[in-house]
Amino acid sequence: MRKIILLIAFTISSSNLLSQKDTKILVTINDNEFSVADFKKVYEKNLDAIDNEESKNLDKNLDLYVNYKLKVKQAYDLKLDTLKSYMTEIETYKTQLIAPYLQDKEYLTSLIKEAYDRTKTEIRASHILVRLPKNYTSKDTLSSFLKIQKARQRVLSGESFAKVAKEVSEDPSVSVNAGDLGYFSAFKMLYDFEDAAYSTPNGGVSGIFKTRYGYHFLQNNGTRTSKGERQVAHILISDTTLIGKNKINEVFVKLNEGVLFNKLSQQYSNDVNTKSKGGVLPRFGSGRMVKSFETAAFSLNNIGDYSKPFKTKYGWHIVKLLKKFPILPFVEMEKVISDKVRNSGRAKLSDNAVLNRLKNEYSITVTESSKKLLQRKDLRSLSKDSLNNTLLTINEKRLLQSDFASFIKNRRLTSFNDMMQKFIDAEILTYFKENLVNTDSNFAYTLSEYEDGLLLFELMQQKIWNKSSDTIALKKYYDTRKKSYNSEDLNSIKGKVMNDFQLYLDQEWIGQLRSENEVKINRKVLKKLKSYYRKES
């Protein structure tokens, strides 16, 4: 029943009739006025679910509308909207309802298409990284930037990228790969890294860019058509010595003699995570496995083919090809790519597009004199009373120095400028969310209907459902109407009696509400409304 009430509220609110210009008052309940447009939103939406003429009767629907409004009014009178459970649920729903407004749909669509296009081409890139220390200062930023700038200039001047990488890069893997990351496509790297790689021409060197790891630049070593993904099973002998080599060769002989791959994996493989499943690994694409393993897996052409024994840093392997996953047309991959975009860091780019739009729309002022005080090293120890000057103004909203101090209280410190920018961005979004109910009528109406529906559920629980579930009350109701049930045993018809009892309680409740409140219907307006629907039909 709760789901039904909330669904009704939602379907009402999702109506596209919010642009109705008919503001004439149709119903007045005490001092509250309800327009023709408000009633039509409900009535016209519900028409789609009505399959008989009697239920479409305007007078009956108007009665139901008034009853609904009376019940909701009583819920507010009883202050059910102050219940902790109610407020928690409304906040959760509001967060879900706001989420689409925080994304730029057009920008998100372009990111999905971009990601798909990139999955079709793999890039091989080398990079150099200069890390930023924890809690870095602007001095650290400059020092790291100058270091990577000098390294990039050396590469542009003709020095070998591998040589400069070994001397400068702070990526732990550089001693093994000299900065060469092999082939990769979309979603395999941080978006900023991926973007730099795909924006750099073959053989070219990118500009300097920043990720959460520090400053980078990269060299595009070439591209190839994506091989898609593969799923393989493997047998691993983790002993990297000659003993391990002899063991894997022994397994290979048995495989050639016709022993099943999954049986050999279960018997010999040292990979405890996969041996019980016949060595089956999750599907993977380029850049996910060590190079020799990836090469062996992608060199197999036919399902069921298996490789010769080969060695990685983990030991000796044999792999068997189980499935190929080629890059499919966009229509077939759109949902998968869309989910990946939304669940990856790049979805924040869409959020940033909204943030940048708001920055242009709002009047935003930072008070420099207030900002200066906040750069003190002992900021966290200052009393709140000493931080009462205005720091940030967003339209008419004022934020104090103490708001910034609270913002950074439980956050890991980066540079002051970074923290200040994060504070400003967060407050812009907070302001947007707080004012959405005033700036978007669809949002306001949807939220209002959900609030009313949730309150009505709570009130129905108290007035109807709890009472009808009371065994003594139900029996008393049955006993006074026993003849109308042909004296059948209550237990055998309990469902029907309970339903009748609920209808009775509801009618009693409506009668009480009608007697306690003044309801006025504007008959002239109602007449015109009936005339309007007769013409429409």
Q: How confident is the model at residue 49 (pLDDT cuts 50, 70, 90)?
A: low
> Is the separation of the CB atoms in 497 and 10 below 8 Å?
no
In the chain, domain spans: 2-9+23-29+37-77+469-536, 121-225, 229-325
pLDDT at 272 over 90: yes
Which pLDDT score is estimated for 441? 87
Residue 301 CB partners (closer than 8 Å, separation 6+): 321
Separation of alpha carbons 308 and 299, rounded Å: 11
Averaged pLDDT, 142-155: 95
Average pLDDT, the chain: 90
pLDDT at 16 over 60: no
Q: How confident is the model at residue 413 (pLDDT cuts 50, 70, 90)?
A: low
Which pLDDT score is estimated for 347? 76
pLDDT at 4 over 70: no
Separation of alpha carbons 195 and 184, rounded Å: 12
Nearest to 379 by CA among 340, 420, 342: 420
- Burial pattern 229-245, b for ≥16 Cβ within 10 A else e, equals bbbbbbbbbeeeeeebb
pLDDT tens string 238-268: 999 999 999 999 999 999 999 999 999 999 9
Which pLDDT score is estimated for 13? 39
Averaged pLDDT, 67-77: 96
Residue 305 CB partners (closer than 8 Å, separation 6+): 320, 321
Which pLDDT score is estimated for 14? 38
Which pLDDT score is estimated for 381? 75
Quick one: angle between helices 58-77 and 494-516, nearest 10?
A: 80
pLDDT tens string 282-305: 999 988 899 899 999 999 999 999
Q: How confident is the model at residue 22 (pLDDT cuts 50, 70, 90)?
A: confident
Q: Which CATH number fits domain 229-325: 3.40.50.300, 3.40.190.10, 1.20.140.10, 3.10.50.40?
A: 3.10.50.40
pLDDT at 48 over 70: no
Least confident of 32-36, 312-316, 347-351, 464-468: 347-351
Which pLDDT score is estimated for 344? 82
Which pLDDT score is estimated for 3? 45
Averaged pLDDT, 109-116: 94
Q: Assign a CATH topology to domain 121-225.
A: Chitinase A; domain 3 (3.10.50)
Measured CA to CA in angstroms, residue 381 lies from 220, 384, 400, 434, 510 at distances of 49, 9, 17, 30, 59
Domains 121-225 and 229-325 share a fold: yes
Q: Is the pTM of this model over 0.95?
A: no
Which pLDDT score is estimated for 50? 66
- Burial pattern 82-93, b for ≥16 Cβ within 10 A else e, equals eeeebeebbeeb
